[in-house]
Amino acid sequence: FLLNLAMDLLPPELLEGIFTLLPWNDQLRLRLTCRKLNAAITPRLLNSERCELAHINLKQMFPNKLILNMRTANAKSAKHFAQLEKRMERVKMLKCDNKEERACVVNLALPTSESEVQPIFEEASIELFQICTIYPLYLDEGKAELLTQLLHGCTVKRAQIVVDYLSVAYLAQTPPFLSAVHCKSVEFVIKFPDFYPMVPYFSDSEFICALVAAGVEEVVFSGDSKGGRQSTKDYTHDTIFQQPFNLLRALINAGITTITYEKSSFWRSEERATPGDMLEFFNEVSALDVLLNITINAHIMNADVLIRGVEANGATLTCENCDNETTTWHKTIISK
């Protein structure tokens, strides 16, 4: 009450001068307490410096609440952390080990209707937007649109999206989100234990064309064995190996030439690729008249046979830690 009364009696310039002398956390607490002060201060902060964030990690630990962990290397950008709304239940500024960095934790109540969704920032440049793999926000129906609205006006350099067996049905809603935040690099974290039925969704021509149309230039597939909702289907060896390679072919044919493919994304840990499984794929893509940067982390039996087969077609392929042991991880990179 006293703060609101002071807002009516004192000039905004005087209040702002007092406000800027307070530590970060006190500024945040004061703005949470006094909405009038927050309304007066926020426009000046938003117009003074562009918000540059190194990292945003988004968690959904409870059905109706999001938790955002944000980090910036530019302390001045931390002012943007406190563009507070009623839905932000708690905001706390943290000092990082690196004194030049600032971190912020925001508890954000999920809106009950689209009309309640407001952008978190006026605008921001975000290096990495990451959905937490332990407490993920699955992009089920309407969730991609929610992210689009929360990050309206922002630019995201790289996004990490968690997908499981149930949320993959809504995969087509992802490209519009990536387009809205001008994201050129996306990583799909495939949740175990059931990933084989997800491959056709990623291989779908309309989805891949939508990725390209959204401006995506790099795609990464990785896996996470913790959690994930599953189906009860069983799959044959041909399904196991052919579908992932068909996915890579589809991405390359659509024009995405930088691809990282972790074995953990669509192969089970006990499975190993043979030269015959991979040689057909590598020979096919090495014949293309494009520069490719494809990285595959996988168990490869007799990898030297694969290298000789690919090099015979005029392409370059390297294997790291190649010792012909089936228990060794091999990274293969092919370019032409």
- Residues 264 and 292 both lie in one domain: no
The span from the CA of 132 to the CA of 247, in Å, is 25
Q: Hey, CA dihedral for 228, 231, 234, 238, is it positive or negative?
A: negative
- Residues 59 and 107 both lie in one domain: yes
- Residues 292 and 281 both lie in one domain: no
1 inside domain: no
- Residues 173 and 309 both lie in one domain: no
- Residues 61 and 102 both lie in one domain: yes
pLDDT in the model for residue 251: 93
Q: Range of 299's domain? A: 288-336
Which tokens sit at 252? 């390359």
36 inside domain: no
Q: What 3-state class would DSSP assign to 259?
A: strand
* End-to-end Cα, the chain, rounded Å: 70
Q: What is the largest CA-CA distance in the chain?
A: 82
pLDDT in the model for residue 325: 43
Which tokens sit at 199? 């491959």
- Residues 192 and 314 both lie in one domain: no
Which tokens sit at 116? 């309640």
Which tokens sit at 245? 């390679």
- Residues 280 and 295 both lie in one domain: no
For all residues of the chain together, what is the average pLDDT? 73
How many Cβ atoms are within 10 Å of 216's Cβ, its own excluded?
24
Query: What pTM was computed for the model?
Result: 0.76
9 inside domain: no
- Residues 308 and 266 both lie in one domain: no
28 inside domain: no
19 inside domain: no
pLDDT in the model for residue 281: 78
- Residues 169 and 313 both lie in one domain: no
pLDDT in the model for residue 47: 53
30 inside domain: no
182 inside domain: yes
- Residues 55 and 138 both lie in one domain: yes
Number of structural domains (the chain) is: 2
- Residues 135 and 256 both lie in one domain: yes
Q: Rounded to whole angstroms, what are the CA distances from 131 to 21, 77, 256?
A: 35, 21, 23
Q: DSSP string spanning 65-84?
A: EEEEEEEES-GGGGGGGG--
Which tokens sit at 54? 């190194």
Write out residues in the chain with pLDDT < 50, as ranges. Answer: 46, 84-91, 93-96, 235, 237-238, 240, 322-331, 336
pLDDT in the model for residue 109: 66
313 inside domain: yes
| Residues 6 or more apart in contact with residue 228 via CB below 8 angstroms | 164, 165, 191, 192, 193, 194
pLDDT in the model for residue 114: 56
In this structure, the strands spanning 185-191 and 155-163 are parallel
pLDDT in the model for residue 328: 39
- Residues 295 and 227 both lie in one domain: no
In this structure, the strands spanning 51-53 and 124-131 are parallel
